[in-house]
Amino acid sequence: MTLNSIHDSVANYALGALDGDDLTRFEAHLREGCAGCLASIRSYEDVLSNLAQKIDPINPPPEVRARLLMKLQTEARDKAGHHLSNTTVGPRKTVEWILAGQGCWQEFIHGVHVQALYSHPIHNYSTSLVRLDAGFSYPRHRHLDTEELYVIDGQCSIDDQEFGPGDYIRAAEGSVHEITQTVHGCTLLVIAGSRGHAFE
């Protein structure tokens, strides 16, 4: 390994950014007992540790958090074998399903749990089940994409309009909801674009 490649590898190794053959070669180099590299790694780790303690945590915007949770849910579901498929017509046609009890619920924000069902990789929309706890209230927000809601059970109100099981709501891109709330809780089927909401 050259001096430049060693220097780059030390920094990348400390950051956890080294992988593949580069990681294999560098770890072999460390096993040879290079005291300079080991000392440099410890220095980098000390700096990173101090930075982590001095930087205040930042909560991501709700729409970013939602997209991340949906991605994690989809990956977890696939790894657990809950994303099943069966070829029906031709090699590219599939039927996919999630059986009751197999889905993965994740807390989106306090009072809201989401189960990701499907995320379209090209058109950037997702289908989810959303469960609102009793007493939950969602503040005024603007829809950055069109959002469709179907009430499965329970009750909710949007801008003082009451909705119950079987009711359908469509919020066009750019529309504003003053407040969304539920007294006793509800479960919704939600189809929405990936950009989510902007609070006003």
Domain check: are 70 and 50 in the same one? no
pLDDT value for 142? 86
Domain check: are 45 and 83 in the same one? no
Domain check: are 107 and 144 in the same one? yes
pLDDT value for 48? 67
Q: What is the mean pLDDT of residues 101-107?
A: 81
Between CA 189 and CA 200 the distance in angstroms is 24
Domain check: are 128 and 176 in the same one? yes
What's the pLDDT band for 86 if we cut at 50, 70, 90?
very low
What count of Cα atoms within 13 Å lies in the side-chain half-sphere of residue 87? 4
Range of the domain at 38: 3-54
Q: How many domains does the chain contain in total?
A: 2
> How far does Cα 94 stand from its chain's mean position?
25
Domain check: are 143 and 181 in the same one? yes
Domain check: are 159 and 114 in the same one? yes
Between CA 174 and CA 177 the distance in angstroms is 10
Domain check: are 41 and 71 in the same one? no
Instruction: Give the sheet arrangement for strand 197-199, strand by strand.
Output: 176-177, 141-143, 197-199
pLDDT in tens, 16-59: 777 778 888 888 877 877 767 777 777 777 766 766 666 666 66
- Higher-pLDDT residue of 70, 50: 50
> In percent, how much of the chain has pLDDT > 90?
20
Q: What is the mean pLDDT of residues 71-77?
A: 54
Any idea what the CATH number is for the domain that residue 114 is in?
Answer: 2.60.120.10
